[in-house]
Amino acid sequence: MTQLTGQPILVLPEGAQRILGRDAQRVNISVARAVANAVRTTLGPKGMDKMLVDELGDIVVTNDGATILDEMSVEHPAGKMMVEVAKTQDKEVGDGTTTAVIVAGELLKNAEDMLDQKIHPSIIVRGYNMAANKSLELLKKHSLDVSADETEKLEQIADIAMTGKGAERVGKKFGEITVKAVKQVAEERNGKAVVDTEYIKIEKKQGGDMLDSELIEGLVIDKERVHAGMPKLIKDAKIALLDAAMEVKETETNAEIRITSPDQLQGFLEQEGKMLKGMVAQVKESGATVVFCQKGIDDVAQHFLSKEGIVAVRRVKKSDMENLARATDAKIVTNIKDLTSIDLGSAGIVEERKISGDDMIFVEECKDPKSVTILVRGGTEHVIDEAERSLHDAIGVVASAIEDGKVVLGGGSIEIEVSLGLDEYAKSVGGREQLAISAFAKALEVIPRTLAESAGMDSIDTLVELKAKHQKGEKNYGIDVTRNKLEDMQKLKVIEPTRIKEQAITSASEVAEMVLRIDDIISSSGKGKGGMPPDMGGMPPGMGGMPPM
Ligand code: ADP
Ligand code: MG
């Protein structure tokens, strides 16, 4: 290496902003906490909703943590890290997003106090990491078993995931639909239950009441048949899935066609007609009575199909094609010439129905379909969107419960139990990490505290009482937000999959640790976002109406 002398060396471009050490931590922590505070009041069944307005004036009314943070378009990097926590939680479990973000905020708040006491960040990070691992152990220890046959319990889990959200009123019905749907697509792989939730399609149609929502044992496609002459209803349908156009494309043959006489033109058109007729004949020969085509269908082909009494739908989305294949047990064929009877799927009914003025294709009464659809109805777009988000959470929790077979009691009871366990653990660890582990334990109390607050209870008294109960061994106690008192959560059936809490604690801890490790924020010139005050400067102007955070 060359010798460096006293000359200062510039490694950053001109105009770059830099915040170092304690200041960097202070900025990042306050931004992260601001994000956590933004969703805090939405926690639990008594949580409030937020109205988000974007630049175009579009409105979203929601109680869903992940959605709120997504719509807020947070720009500060530390804020974005918090949004990632919600997104990960949403992807991994589908529920528990608010919990994850609030816990992360509280971990950082407690870390701030320790930093003020001159405890080095690396000690805090170590302690938090140890505490997070211990929490996972404690969660396992306090978990109860649930099996896929316990329908009622699973419906209850779905119901709890939806309380406080838009679909609460229809929680019972949605719970039933959700459990049926999840069980239907669940598969066994290597002796383990696996649920691919993407095989539960949620199709929204405005109009009617949320109670009109239904589970379709198959698929609903927002399309109509290509030709009015085709039958509207086919029973015992034999279904062909084509990933090929029923068209003759000149560009594909890449040949130039010179037509010099009307006879030639006639000949050419006849030739084209013959080819299309051939394609239809191939479909007919396979025995198909319904064709779903991912690409286009030529007018002439439509005409011939209609004459054969075959129903055809064109330009079907790729995801719908895949779900159709799973629902009807059909094979997607990429070359019409290859289509034979063994590629066909089946459905009891294929029917075009008018739903609130729009034609939709129902493929239902499939035998043991591995893909199903929930058709969501509701008076307005906002209602339907929030219903969809509720269903998404419900599907996530039921799937997690079936996959893992483990649940815990909610209402803040599991958080207190883990918190007390961590306190014990902290004592056994000793040293300076002990402080960080205790701070972690304390941070988990934010969940029961916030639930108590949202119910209008005295949060400090409630927390003291709740801890006392748990210390006496009454570990099922949590916050009954409806009757504003402490109650046995098993009795109230407030159950949640263990995975929600595992994921929430893991990602909250990870983001807190990540933020704490940063002691240098370098922002390139012009942007200077790292140096901006924690006012979440990235919010669209339309959101000026939100309370200051
Ligand atoms: P998240 O996005 O974290 O899932 P929610 O707004 O769904 O946030 O609130 C979840 C919290 O509310 C959990 O701690 C859960 O135990 C609690 N909760 C849900 N239903 C009830 C209930 N009926 N009584 C008490 N607590 C409940
Ligand atoms: Mg929830």
Q: What pLDDT is stored for residue 546 in this prediction?
A: 40
Instruction: Please give the number of the atom of ligand 1 that sits closest to the Cα of 63.
Output: 6
pLDDT at 529 over 80: no
- The one catalytic residue in 67, 97, 99, 178 is 97
Confidence of residue 535 (pLDDT cuts 50, 70, 90): very low
Confidence of residue 167 (pLDDT cuts 50, 70, 90): confident
Ligand 1 test: best mutation among 142, 451, 476, 491, most atoms within 8 Å of CB?
A: 451
Instruction: Please give the number of the atom of ligand 1 that sits closest to the Cα of 478.
Output: 25
Residues 473, 468: Cα–Cα separation, whole Å: 9
Q: What pLDDT is stored for residue 17 in this prediction?
A: 81
State in Å: Cα 90 to ligand 2 middle: 10
Hey, what are 54's tokens?
Answer: 């974007």
State in Å: Cα 162 to ligand 2 middle: 7
Average pLDDT of the segment spanning 324-350: 96
Confirm whether 263 is a catalytic residue: no
Taking alpha carbons only, the member of 92, 59, 11 closest to residue 540 is 59
| 77, 230, 299, 383, 473 from 352: Cα distances, Å | 49, 10, 20, 25, 59
Residues 6+ apart with CB under 8 A from 543: 52, 53, 54, 72
Count of CB atoms within 10 A of residue 449's CB? 22
State in Å: Cα 389 to ligand 2 middle: 10
State in Å: Cα 269 to ligand 2 middle: 61
Average pLDDT of the segment spanning 25-54: 90
Taking alpha carbons only, the member of 33, 53, 84 closest to residue 539 is 53
State in Å: Cα 149 to ligand 2 middle: 23
Ligand 1 test: best mutation among 99, 101, 457, 498, most atoms within 8 Å of CB?
A: 99
State in Å: Cα 494 to ligand 1 middle: 8
| 15, 218, 452 from 481: Cα distances, Å | 53, 39, 7
pLDDT at 377 over 90: yes
Residues 187, 223: Cα–Cα separation, whole Å: 29
Least confident of 6-15, 136-145, 175-184: 6-15
Q: Which residue, by CA, sits nearest to atom 9 of ligand 1?
A: 44
Ligand 1 in reach of 417 Cβ (< 6 A) = no
Q: Over the stretch 13-25, which tens digit does the pLDDT of each residue have?
A: 777 788 888 888 8
Count of CB atoms within 10 A of residue 267's CB? 12
Confidence of residue 530 (pLDDT cuts 50, 70, 90): very low
Q: Which residue, by CA, sits nearest to atom 20 of ligand 1?
A: 160
Confidence of residue 524 (pLDDT cuts 50, 70, 90): confident
Average pLDDT of the segment spanning 350-355: 95
H-run or E-run covering 156: helix 151-162
pLDDT at 353 over 50: yes
Instruction: Please give the number of the atom of ligand 1 that sits closest to the Cα of 504.
Output: 3
Q: Over the stretch 421-441, which tens digit does the pLDDT of each residue have?
A: 999 999 999 888 999 999 999
pLDDT at 12 over 90: no
Average pLDDT of the segment spanning 103-108: 96
Indicate the residue type of 281: A
Confirm whether 358 is a catalytic residue: no
Ligand 1 in reach of 39 Cβ (< 6 A) = no
| 239, 298, 304, 336, 395 from 281: Cα distances, Å | 15, 14, 9, 10, 43
SS3 content of the chain, % helix, strand, coil (to 5): 50, 20, 30
Confirm whether 178 is a catalytic residue: no
- The one catalytic residue in 62, 64, 373, 385 is 64
Q: What pLDDT is stored for residue 236 in this prediction?
A: 97
Cα radius of gyration (the chain): 29
Residues 160, 409: Cα–Cα separation, whole Å: 11
Q: Return left, alpha or beta for 235; rule: phi > 0 is left, psi -120 to 50 is alpha, else beta.
A: beta
Chain-wide mean pLDDT for the chain? 89
Ligand nearest to the backbone CA of 40: 1
78 neighbors 26 (Cβ within 8 angstroms)? no
Residues 414, 83: Cα–Cα separation, whole Å: 24
Ligand 1 in reach of 47 Cβ (< 6 A) = yes
Count helices and strands in the chain by DSSP H and E runs: 17, 21
Q: Over the stretch 287-313, which tens digit does the pLDDT of each residue have?
A: 999 999 999 999 999 999 999 999 999
State in Å: Cα 105 to ligand 2 middle: 18
pLDDT at 254 over 90: no
Burial per residue of 300-313, b for 16 or more beta-carbon CB atoms within 10 angstroms, e otherwise: bbbbbbbeeebbbb
Taking alpha carbons only, the member of 204, 133, 137, 139 closest to residue 373 is 204
Confidence of residue 6 (pLDDT cuts 50, 70, 90): low
Q: What pLDDT is stored for residue 3 in this prediction?
A: 58
Confidence of residue 10 (pLDDT cuts 50, 70, 90): low
- The one catalytic residue in 88, 98, 373, 498 is 98
Residues 70, 38: Cα–Cα separation, whole Å: 12
Taking alpha carbons only, the member of 88, 91, 127, 105 closest to residue 43 is 105
Ligand 1 in reach of 44 Cβ (< 6 A) = yes
Count of CB atoms within 10 A of residue 541's CB? 8
- What percent of the chain shows pLDDT beyond 90? 71
Long-range contacts of 78-83 (CB under 8 A, 24+ apart): 78/27, 78/28, 78/29, 78/31, 78/32, 78/515, 78/518, 79/31, 79/32, 79/34, 79/35, 79/536, 79/538, 81/32, 81/511, 81/514, 81/515, 82/32, 82/35, 82/36, 82/511, 83/35
State in Å: Cα 398 to ligand 1 middle: 15
**pTM for the model:** 0.85
How many Cα neighbours within 13 Å face the side chain of 221? 29
Average pLDDT of the segment spanning 343-357: 95
Ligand nearest to the backbone CA of 47: 1
H-run or E-run covering 185: helix 171-185
- The one catalytic residue in 373, 393, 450, 506 is 393
Residues 210, 377: Cα–Cα separation, whole Å: 5
Q: Over the stretch 213-222, which tens digit does the pLDDT of each residue have?
A: 999 999 999 9
Burial per residue of 471-482, b for 16 or more beta-carbon CB atoms within 10 angstroms, e otherwise: eeeebbbbbbbe
β 200-206/290-293 pair status: unpaired
Strand order from edge to edge, sheet including 406-409: 144-145, 406-409, 495-497
Ligand 1 test: best mutation among 68, 160, 162, most atoms within 8 Å of CB?
A: 160
Decide which of 11 and 361 is more confident: 361
- What percent of the chain shows pLDDT beyond 70? 92
Residues 467, 419: Cα–Cα separation, whole Å: 9
pLDDT at 120 over 90: yes
Ligand 1 test: best mutation among 103, 163, 477, most atoms within 8 Å of CB?
A: 163
pLDDT at 547 over 80: no
Phi, psi of 57 (to 5 degrees): 85, 5
SS3 assignment, position 360: strand
Q: Which residue, by CA, sits nearest to atom 26 of ligand 1?
A: 411
Confidence of residue 545 (pLDDT cuts 50, 70, 90): very low
Provide the 8-state DSSP code for 294. Answer: S
Least confident of 60-64, 110-114, 378-382: 60-64
Instruction: Please give the number of the atom of ligand 1 that sits closest to the Cα of 99.
Output: 3
β 187-189/233-242 pair status: unpaired
205 neighbors 309 (Cβ within 8 angstroms)? no
Q: What pLDDT is stored for residue 47 in this prediction?
A: 87
Q: Return left, alpha or beta for 58; rule: phi > 0 is left, psi -120 to 50 is alpha, else beta.
A: beta
Angle (CA) 382 185 91, round 5°: 55
Q: What pLDDT is stored for residue 528 in this prediction?
A: 43
Residues 495, 522: Cα–Cα separation, whole Å: 45
pLDDT at 159 over 90: yes
Ligand 1 in reach of 300 Cβ (< 6 A) = no
- Domains of the chain by start residue, with CATH: 11-145+409-523 (1.10.560.10), 147-217+371-404 (3.30.260.10), 219-368 (3.50.7.10)
What distance lies between CA 60 and its chain's CA centroid? 17
State in Å: Cα 419 to ligand 2 middle: 20
Placement of tokens 């085709």 in the chain: 230
Average pLDDT of the segment spanning 119-137: 96
pLDDT at 533 over 70: no
| 27, 276, 519, 532 from 19: Cα distances, Å | 9, 69, 8, 10
Confirm whether 385 is a catalytic residue: no
